[in-house]
Amino acid sequence: MSAVSPPLNRLLRALPAAELGLIQARLETVELTKDATLADAGSPVQRVYLPHSGIVSMMISLSDGQSVEVATIGHDSIVGGSAALYGGPLLTHAIVVVPGTASMLPAEDFRAAADRSSTFRTLAALHEQTLLAQTQQAVACGISHPVEARLSRWLLRARDLCGSERLPLTQEMLAQMIGVRRNAISIVAHAFQQAGILRYSRGRIDITDIDGLRKAACECYATVKAHEEQLTASVD
């Protein structure tokens, strides 16, 4: 592990030099390994992660053994920021679904920086507001929209975070992300492949028609994107 330079995470990029200096000596670059658990629901947050690449899924576990994603985090946000600020437990599991790297900061240092700097605190709060908006939209999407639209929305979000049309994702993983059975994903993926929207092989999905995928998505993708653009206007 080493000190991170230059910052690639959006919050770190947005910090003025003086505010970044409050935490830079304590930042460490860590690998986000696929399937790694960064934090468990119900446990106090020990570390805050600010991803530079990869995807972290915020998951809720149900009593029947199923897990459902409520938010997708990448270089545009923070893992564990709100819980670190207020000293409470994280309400979801944080699981790495696409490997990458992140800056890691002990929770007490994250909290101390927010206490010393109103700019830092405001930026952290804006990111948490955007994460909350994503979570609320995901709930509405899961109730109201068909599998085709939900899968398209999730793949578009993954593409934005990875910066690539080639995504290291399995159908089983996608089923878990949007809360459906694997055979439902298989049917939709096959239809999308026949339509030339996707090409998939074991452990990988290629988006071959981005416009077609956008047309298949529900309005939830654009709604969350609009929230992100508002955040960008505020902090970049």
Domains of the chain, by residue range, sit at: 10-116, 146-217
The DSSP letter of residue 25 is: G
pTM of the model: 0.89
CATH of region 146-217: 1.10.10.10
Q: Give residue 58's pLDDT band: very low, low, confident or very high (50, 70, 90).
A: very high
Residues 6+ apart with CB under 8 A from 86: none
Q: Give residue 234's pLDDT band: very low, low, confident or very high (50, 70, 90).
A: low
Q: Is the alpha carbon torsion for 152, 156, 157, 163 positive or negative?
A: positive
With contact defined as beta carbons under 8 Å apart, do 218 and 145 qualify?
Answer: yes
Q: Which one is predicted more confidently, 114 or 227? A: 114
pLDDT tens per residue, range 200-213:
888 899 999 999 99
User: CATH fold of 10-116, please?
Assistant: Jelly Rolls (2.60.120)
pLDDT tens per residue, range 146-189:
999 999 999 999 999 999 999 999 988 899 888 888 899 999 99
Euclidean distance between CA atoms 136 and 142, whole angstroms: 10
Residues 6+ apart with CB under 8 A from 21: none
Report cis status (omega within 30 of 0) of the bond before 6. Answer: yes
Euclidean distance between CA atoms 205 and 202, whole angstroms: 8
- 219-235 helix and 147-162 helix, angle to the nearest 10 degrees: 30
For position 57, what pLDDT does the model report? 95
